[in-house]
Amino acid sequence: MEEASLSISRGAEDDNSRQNSDYSDLELNLLADRSFLDIHGCPSRLAHYHGIDCKLSGSVYVVSEIERAIPLIHGVRGCAFHQRLSPRKLYSPVYDMACTNLMEEDVIYGGEEKLRRGIYDTYKRYNPDLIVVLPTCISGLMGEDVHSVVEDIKDEVPCELVIVTSEGFAHRDHDSIDSIMQYVATSWKNTSQQFDFRGCGQVDMLAALAEQLMEEQDVIENSVNLESNGRNTFGFNLELQEVGSILGKMGITLNTVFPTTTVKRIKQAPAARLNIARSRTDKWAAYMKDEFGTDHIKSWPHNSGIEGMARFLMDIGTRMGLDGEAEAVIDEEKKRAEKELVKIRHALMGYSFAIVSQSLIFNPHRARVYIDDLMIPIKCICIDSLVLNRLKVSQETRDMMIKNMYSIFDEMNLDFQITTDPSAQETYKISKEVDHVLGEFITSHVYERNAEIPVLDITMFSNMLYRTSFNVIIELGRYLTRRINRPQIRDRHLIVSRLKYNSPYYPLLDDPRISSSVSMWQEIWRANSRGGC
């Protein structure tokens, strides 16, 4: 059987070379992603404090993942101009994009003829396998009958045509972050429920591909589809390599890496027995279940750690009728991991650690990696929950998330101190009582007082702990054993530590221009966004 290859569209050749090169070293792979991809993404993280991106950008992003697919924006040129720079892939703008360039006369007389011409021209210019027609605010307001235009000409255009409702004014509302967090908090042990992420262009685009492009197929036994996080996102290649490898050992093949593949592969997605979907974007998988009977499973935080990963793989094996094969592979992987972990634990046991973390609130299961798998001698866990304020998460949801976290710690029944939102002085004091502080780059105190609180940054690994395989846990352990043996630099004077930050909006700077802009946005966003009419 032909296996899914990761297909690279125009504008992403760098990833092609990265995918094909020999990145056997897991840490190097992650370092490369952080160094060369994430450096582009930081303005987008900042911008989320004072705005949200367009629904259209999510749709464009998904189209850009598909080889030989072109987004055709039915709107004004300004939309096409700035949508080239999708917040999900600032590293790699969408170079190939078409636009109907609606002008004032089109607003008066209608733009359907321009759309018709635009589809022909796009085909002529790019010779694509798929054109995705994306209506915008303007064409939506004009009441353009996009479906009729596409229906009329689809037989004359020798490529696939898909339409996705992507009018910018139908964006998500201000409660959406809280809804996501609530969903995360309520389903932290069980992912059976579905989340309706209304107004997300990415969700609607993936669903449209399932609805309009996929075709009934003969099911290929022992094959799965894997929902991709995006070729220009941190850890994507590694995840694909690791998941593909371990499933391969279980006798399972990857049918479609959705949507990071070819149009042909997307059409053939229903041939898979199972979909491995992501948490909040799984509307496509629900559709496939209804239409094609394809079962699905979600990749989720409780898959963290050796046992979590084993349960996840076992679940996949059971659903595929491969219990025996899965069990054998898991046993083998666990034994291999255990052998490595024994050495790592031995190296770490002579030291004491504090962990400063935000991510344990979102995924308390990560604590199992530190405590159950690596058996790091932790004296204190400092939780930075201010991020929940920044995200405007409701008190009810916050309470739920904090309760989940404490519940995990209680189950572990270990003797470590837990401090929530310690001051810089308290964190400094804690750092003096341990040999090493493990932290994440987004956590404020450790960076504001870096000279006094030397931190060993584990962000790179902590973000991968539930996404891949046993190898990431081992690699995190190896990384720690190497780093603790290096002399600690206690006289750093980071330039970023000289800057004053805005609490509670860290890492925004304490600058009146930023503070008032953020306040203004937050107030207006809360007042004017109420989930549509």
Binding-residue total with another protein (CB under 8 A): 67
Length of the chain: 533
Smallest separation, CB 452 to another protein (Å): 25
11 binds another protein (CB under 8 A): yes
Question: Tokens 């650690």, residue?
Answer: 353
DSSP letter, residue 198: T
Q: Does 95 bind another protein (CB under 8 A)?
A: yes
Q: Is 171 among the residues that bind another protein (CB under 8 A)?
A: yes
- Taking CB under 8 A as the criterion, the residue among 34, 84, 89, 283 binding another protein is 84
Q: Say if residues 381 and 357 touch (Cβ distance below 8 Å).
A: yes
Cβ contact 252:149 at 8 Å: no
Each residue 150-169 as x (binds another protein by CB under 8 A) or -, in order, gives ------------------xx
- Answer yes or no whether residue 56 interacts with another protein by CB under 8 A: yes
- Residue from 343, 403, 429, 530 in contact with another protein (CB under 8 A): 530
Q: Which is nearer to another protein, 15 or 160 (CB)?
A: 15
Both structure tokens of 33: 């992603």
What DSSP state is assigned to residue 509?
B
Residues 27 and 484: their CA atoms lie apart, in Å, by 16
Q: Is 103 or 349 the residue whose CB approaches another protein more closely?
A: 103
In sequence order, the β-bridge partners of residue 253 are 223
Q: Does 434 bind another protein (CB under 8 A)?
A: no
Q: Which segment (52-60, 256-264, 276-284, 458-466) binds another protein by CB under 8 A?
A: 52-60
Closest separation in Å from C-beta 57 to another protein: 7
**Residue 504 interacting with another protein (CB under 8 A):** no
Q: To the nearest whole angstrom, how small is the minimum distance from the Cβ of residue 506 to another protein? A: 14
Neighbours of 518 (CB within 10 A): 17
Tokens of 125: 């210019």
Which region, judged by CB under 8 A, interacts with another protein, from 136-144, 216-224, 315-323, 372-380? 136-144
Tokens 């002399």: give the residue. Answer: 487
Among 23, 406, 441, 521, contact with another protein (rule: CB under 8 A): 521
CA angle 98, 103, 105 (to 5 degrees): 135
Name the residue nearer to another protein (CB basis): 477 or 507.
Answer: 507
Instruction: Give the phi and the psi of residue 418 in degrees, each rounded to 5.
Output: -120, 125
Window 106-135: residues binding another protein (CB under 8 A) = 106-107
Residue at 167: amino acid letter: E
Residue of 38, 145, 173, 211 interacting with another protein (CB under 8 A): 173
Lay out the site mask for another protein across 210-239 (x = CB under 8 A, - = otherwise): ------------------------------
Nearest distance, CB of residue 284 and another protein, angstroms = 22
50 binds another protein (CB under 8 A): yes
Spatial CB neighbours of 90, under 8 Å, sequence gap ≥ 6: 40, 41, 43, 44
First to last CA, the chain: 49
From candidates 73, 102, 330, 380, binder to another protein by CB under 8 A:
102
Residue 55 interacting with another protein (CB under 8 A) = yes
Taking the complex as a whole, the smallest distance from the CB of residue 126 to another protein amounts, in Å, to 11
Long-range contacts of 11-14 (CB under 8 A, 24+ apart): 11/64, 11/92, 11/93, 11/94, 11/95, 11/96, 12/64, 12/92, 12/231, 12/232, 14/92
Q: Which of 31, 81, 336, 407 binds another protein (CB under 8 A)?
A: 81
Specify the residue, 1 or 527, whose C-beta has the smaller distance to another protein: 527
**Residue 70 near residue 132, CB atoms below 8 Å:** yes
- Nearest residue to 460 via CA among 12, 26, 21: 26
46 binds another protein (CB under 8 A): yes
Burial of 90 (0-12, 13-18, 19+ CB in 10 A): middle
E strands, 166-241, in order: 223-227
Among 103, 342, 349, 414, binds another protein (CB under 8 A): 103
**What span, in angstroms and rounded, lies between the C-alpha atoms of 316 and 186?**
23
Q: Give the interface with another protein as residue ranges (CB under 8 A).
A: 10-11, 13-14, 40, 43-44, 46-47, 50-57, 76-79, 81-85, 87, 90-91, 93, 95-96, 102-104, 106-107, 137-138, 140-142, 168-171, 173, 509, 511-514, 516-521, 523-525, 527-530, 532-533
